[in-house]
Amino acid sequence: MKRNDAIFKKTGWELVKSALMPILFTAAIILIIVYALRQTEQASRAEGLVILEDSIRRAVVTAYAIEGRFPESLQYIEENFGVHIDRNRFVVHYMIFAPNIMPEILVIER
């Protein structure tokens, strides 16, 4: 059997190149996964903010429909309409002008 010596005679650069390719490929895959997870987390945070604001608005409108006036405070909404506000994560601005005018509601992430 004749052995092909060209296969076994690799230069130093060829050996480094053949060893680096799998490492670079794996690193690229890991970076893509990390990027995708961060994008998913940002989308989830934004969705949580929208859901909280919608929940507060629905509770305010429901209170107006049932009681004939808008709630005077966020505490009233939390106690009587089951809206939970994660105050460690969100800041809610709730300003009422009059009992028959829709209050200003603004939810901001900390």
Which are the contacts of 59, defined by CB distance < 8 A and separation ≥ 6?
71, 77, 81, 82, 83
pLDDT of residue 5: 56
Span 1-28, pLDDT tens digits? 555 555 566 677 777 777 788 899 999 9
pLDDT of residue 3: 56
pLDDT of residue 21: 85
Q: Which residue has the tokens 């005018």?
A: 101
Residues 109 and 49: their CA atoms lie apart, in Å, by 7
pLDDT of residue 90: 93
Model confidence pTM above 0.85 = no
pLDDT of residue 6: 55
Helix (H, G, I), strand (E, B) or coil at 64: helix
Rounded to an integer, the average pLDDT of 77-103 is 92
Residues 93 and 91: their CA atoms lie apart, in Å, by 7
Cα torsion at 70, 72, 76, 77 (round to 10°)?
A: 40
Radius of gyration of the chain (CA): 29
Among residues of the chain, what percentage have pLDDT more than 90? Answer: 66
The mean of the pLDDT values for the chain is: 88
